Chains A and B, each alone.
Chain A
C-alpha cells in the first residue's frame, strides 16, 4: 500500500463509520473540535482502524495523544511500516 492509499483508506473508513464530511477531513482538522468526535468515539476509532488494517493497536498512550486527522495518518503509517 502506498502512503496515499493508506491515507485514503483511513479517511474513507472514518467518513463512513462516523458520518463525517470528506470536505472537512483535512490533515489539520482537530478530530474533537473540528470533526465532532468525543472521548467515547476513540474506542470506536481504534476498532475501525484495526478492522481496516488488520493490525492490533496496543499503543494506548499514542492513541490518547492523537489530536488531528494528520496524527491518525501518522500513527497508522508508522504501524503499517512496522508490520511490513
Chain B
C-alpha cells in the first residue's frame, strides 16, 4: 500500500456535511481525504448555468443567520463566513402562502414577535393559541447541542420519536384553514407529510426562518466556492469521481475504504456522510448487528420533487426577497401526490435571491434581452419517472418528452396562479431521477432520510469502532441541518466539550 494513501480520516461524500466534517477535523490536525462519487464536489449544492443564467440546485435561502443567529459560530469557526455576502429577505414578508384558487396571499414577516403580532391581528379569535404555538417554537427551535452552545448535554433529553405531529399541533387552528396552511407550508422544506412529521422537526426548520431569512449572493455556487478555498487552505484532499463501495475493517476496527475501481484507501476513521440507507451494502460482513442493519434498510426517505428551472422576460417583483408557497385549497399543506402535478403544492423562488442574476439571451430578432430566472419545486413520487431509469445518468427513450410535458404543466400552473409571471418559459426540469444521480439518495429523496414520527434515526456513533455517520439524517434537513450534523459527528470523535468550548469563542 502506498504511503500517500493512508489518512487519519476518510470522509464519504463531498456535500455540506462531509466537507464541513473535513474542515473541522483538519483544524484538529487530522489528515483528511474526502471521497465523492460525482465528477465534481458538492453536486447537490453547486447549481448550474444555463442560457446565461445561474440556477441554484440545492439552496435558496437559509434561516438562523440574523442578529444573534445560532448558525454564525458554526460558519465562523470554519472561516465560511468570510466572503459570503448575505442578502436579507423582505422583513415584511419573506415567505408567503398563496392560495391558487382565490389568488390571496398571506405573508410571514421576519421575527417571532412580528409574526405573533401580525397573525393575532389577522386572526384575533386564535390570538391566544397563536402566541402559545409560536412561543413553543421560539423556545425549542435552537435547543439542540450545536445551536445552543450552553445547553447542558447531560440534560438533553431527545424528544420522543412518538411526539406530537405537525397535523396534531395544528388541529387547534381548524377554524382558520388559512392559518393552518401558513404554519405548515414549511413542510416543503423537510419533505414529510404533516400527519407524519414531528412538530419538533417543523419547529427546527420553520423556527430558523421565523428567526431570520437570508439569501446568499451567488447562491449555492458561492457557498461551494468558499468551501473549495477553505479546503485548499486546510490541506484537505478531495477526490471526485471516487465512489466508495466498501468500508474495510481489520480486527473489528475500521481500516479504510475501497473504491469502485478497486483502489483501497487506508484510514483509521471513516465518516459516512451519504444517505445512511446506502451504508448496509458497504459494511463488512458481521460488523454490526442484524437489528442495526435492518434499521438502516428500513429508514424512510423524504419526498422527491420536480424542480422547474424557468426564465421570465420581466423582473419578477413578486419573488424579490420572498418565496411563495402555493396551494390549491386551504388547510394543512400536504403533498397531494395522488393528484396531478397541477394540483400539488408549489414552492416558487427567484433563481438567485434578491439580486436576480440577469443573463443575456438572444431573442428572435437578434437583440439581446435580459431574462430573470425562476425556480419552482413541486413534490413528486419517484415511481412517476422510474420507468425511464436505465442506470446512473442514463434514461430510456421518451424521458425528454416526459420532462417537457411535466415542465409545461408546472409552467401553466405558475402562469395561472401568478399572472405576474406570464412570460415564464421552461429552461429545464430536474426529476427524482436527477436528484438520485446527484445525491445517490434512494428514490431521489430531497432531504435524504427524514425525521418521521415513530422512526429512530441513526446517531453519529456506530457500533463499528472508527465508523461515524453524518448528514441530515442524524440532525435535521437543509444547510443548517447538514452543518449541525457535521459538528455532532466531529464532536463525537473529538469530544463534545472540547468542540463546543472552541465554538463558544466564535459567537
Contacting residues of chain B (294-318) with chain A, CB-CB under 8 angstroms: 294-295
The reply on A19 being an interface residue by CB < 8 A is yes
Contact with A along B448-479 (1 / 0, CB 8 A): 00000010100101110000000000000000
Count residues of B near A (Cβ-Cβ below 8 Å). Answer: 15
Whether the Cβ atoms of B160 and A58 lie closer than 8 Å is yes
Whether the Cβ atoms of A48 and B291 lie closer than 8 Å is yes
Chain B binding site: helix, strand, loop or mixed by DSSP?
loop
CA distance A18 to B288 in the complex (A): 9
With A43-B456, A60-B157 as known contacts, state yes or no: A38 contacts B463, CB within 8 Å.
Answer: yes
Chain B residue numbers with a CB within 8 Å of A57 are 162
Q: Which residue of B lies closest to A43 (CB)?
A: B456
Contact with B along A29-57 (1 / 0, CB 8 A): 00000000010110111111000000011
CA distance A38 to B291 in the complex (A): 13
Smallest Cβ distance from A49 to chain B, in angstroms? Answer: 10
Whether the Cβ atoms of A16 and B160 lie closer than 8 Å is no
CA distance A19 to B292 in the complex (A): 12
Whether the Cβ atoms of B463 and A41 lie closer than 8 Å is yes
Chain B residue numbers with a CB within 8 Å of A44 are 289, 291-292, 295
The reply on B290 being an interface residue by CB < 8 A is yes
Whether the Cβ atoms of B295 and A40 lie closer than 8 Å is no
Chain A residue numbers with a CB within 8 Å of B292 are 41, 44
Whether the Cβ atoms of A56 and B454 lie closer than 8 Å is yes
Whether the Cβ atoms of B289 and A19 lie closer than 8 Å is yes
Whether the Cβ atoms of A17 and B291 lie closer than 8 Å is yes
CA distance A19 to B454 in the complex (A): 25
Smallest Cβ distance from B325 to chain A, in angstroms? Answer: 32
Q: Which residue of B lies closest to A46 (CB)?
A: B456
Q: Which residue of A lies closest to B454 (CB)?
A: A56
Smallest Cβ distance from A31 to chain B, in angstroms? Answer: 13
Smallest Cβ distance from B153 to chain A, in angstroms? Answer: 15
Whether the Cβ atoms of B290 and A19 lie closer than 8 Å is yes
Q: Which residue of B lies closest to A44 (CB)?
A: B291
Whether the Cβ atoms of A45 and B291 lie closer than 8 Å is yes
CA distance A43 to B460 in the complex (A): 13
Q: Which residues of B contact A (CB under 8 A)?
A: 157, 160, 162, 289-292, 294-295, 454, 456, 459, 461-463
Beyond known contacts A18-B291, A41-B291: 17 more, CB 8 A cutoff = A16-B290, A17-B290, A18-B289, A18-B290, A19-B289, A19-B290, A38-B463, A41-B289, A43-B456, A44-B295, A45-B291, A47-B291, A47-B295, A47-B456, A48-B291, A56-B454, A58-B162
Name 26 A/B residue pairs within 8 A (Cβ), A-sorted: A16-B290, A17-B289, A17-B294, A18-B290, A18-B291, A19-B290, A40-B459, A40-B462, A40-B463, A41-B289, A41-B291, A41-B292, A43-B459, A44-B291, A44-B292, A44-B295, A46-B456, A47-B295, A47-B456, A48-B291, A56-B454, A57-B162, A58-B160, A58-B162, A60-B157, A60-B160
Q: Which residues of A contact B (CB under 8 A)?
A: 16-19, 38, 40-41, 43-48, 56-58, 60
